[in-house]
Amino acid sequence: MKKVLVTGADGFIGSHLTEELVKQGYKLKAFAYYNSFNSWGWLDTLPKDIMNEIEVFTGDIRDPNGVREAMKGIDEVFHLAALIAIPFSYHSPDTYVDTNIKGTLNVLQAARDLEISRLLITSTSEVYGTAQYVPIDEKHPYQGQSPYSATKIGADRLAESFYRSFNMPITIVRPFNTYGPRQSARAVIPTIITQLLAGKEEIKLGSLTPTRDFNFVKDTANGFMEIAKSDKTIGEEINIATQQEISIGQLAEELIRQINPKAKIVCDEQRLRPEKSEVNRLLGSNKKIMGLTKWKPHYTFEQGLAETIEFFKNNLDQYKIDIYNI
């Protein structure tokens, strides 16, 4: 039985991946961000029978000592720990450098020294910036349109350098926009759903024209697992994408139709990205992942939205709906 470490296990995608890995029979260690509240984030909401199979390690990805300690005795590492909110990166870029670049370096160094047998580094479709052609494949140029995306580009290139310099078994996994239960209200789908469920009739949004390629979170988690199973993926950068796109405006209209047809969209200036920072189009190619692994999406967009809406109906009290979550 392989022993696996998931960094960022307390977060949105990380908690789903952790849960699925346990169901698949892996021996699991979950790296959660240390805090004095002894909160394990979304791990605290997992069923007891799942949590009984998980060893939780609390630490800080920015600290190389804790990272190394967490990785001792581990076979495979799924590195998801990161700061991801784009607006927050505009005014606190230092924390993104420390977490996303230095944190990834800590994982890479420890993986090299401990001879980890498999390491997956989590990237983001934001590294591509606005699409220069579609569908966006893994050869698409990089463009740092926010401090967040710049730090993820840096982390990816560090990972590539360790693969090339030290022949380490590394794969860079690049999910396009993931959504689903447990997502932060800073993301667009929870932003719309929570406002609608709270009875708001004016839904505050930023730009409506950008398009996104949305993955349901369980499909994203499955993508990580399928990539880890294949030796063909070592040394590769691999998109997880549906190869379908929808504009933010179309998305909002569909959710309004489903939840509260009386609502209307209003532009909230503080939610607008600077013009040259806005990523106007993301539509990913999934040709590579489908060629190298057995992965394919199992959820339609309609199915994913339905499950997401149901989650927020039952957990609305956990979200601060009346503020702009950055």
Query: All domains of the chain, ordered by start, with CATH?
Result: 3-180+215-240 (3.40.50.720)
In this structure, of 173-187, 269-283, 286-300, 306-320, the range with the lowest mean pLDDT score is 269-283
pLDDT value for 273: 84
Is 80 exceeded by the pLDDT of residue 128?
yes
pLDDT value for 203: 93
Is 90 exceeded by the pLDDT of residue 154?
yes
- The Cα-based distances of 236 to 126, 156, 199, 225, 280 in angstroms read 18, 11, 46, 15, 26
Is 90 exceeded by the pLDDT of residue 272?
no
Measure the CA–CA gap between 192 and 248, rounded to whole angstroms: 10
Q: Per-residue pLDDT tens for 46-105?
A: 999 999 999 999 999 999 999 999 999 999 999 999 999 999 999 999 999 999 999 999
Best CA proximity match to 81, nearest among 101, 65, 98, 61: 61
Q: Per-residue pLDDT tens for 225-255?
A: 999 999 999 999 999 999 999 999 999 999 9
pLDDT value for 324: 80
Between strands 214-216 and 118-122, the pairing is unpaired
Mean residue pLDDT of the chain comes to: 96
Asked if residue 199 lies in contact with residue 262, where contact means CB atoms within 8 angstroms, the answer is no
Is 80 exceeded by the pLDDT of residue 326?
no
Asked if residue 294 lies in contact with residue 231, where contact means CB atoms within 8 angstroms, the answer is no
- The Cα-based distances of 290 to 118, 232, 296 in angstroms read 20, 12, 7
pLDDT value for 321: 85
Is 90 exceeded by the pLDDT of residue 271?
no
pLDDT value for 242: 98
Burial annotation 193-216 (CB, 10 A radius, 16+ → b, else e): bbbbbeebeebbbbeeebbbbbbb
Q: Per-residue pLDDT tens for 167-207?
A: 999 999 999 999 999 999 989 999 999 999 999 999 999 89
SS3 217: helix
Measure the CA–CA gap between 251 and 309, rounded to whole angstroms: 13
Looking at the chain, the whole-number percentage of residues with pLDDT higher than 70 is 100
pTM: 0.96
pLDDT band with cut points at 50, 70 and 90 for residue 268 = confident
Is 90 exceeded by the pLDDT of residue 37?
yes
| SS3 of 279-319 | CCECCECCHHHHHHCCCCCCCCHHHHHHHHHHHHHHHHHHC
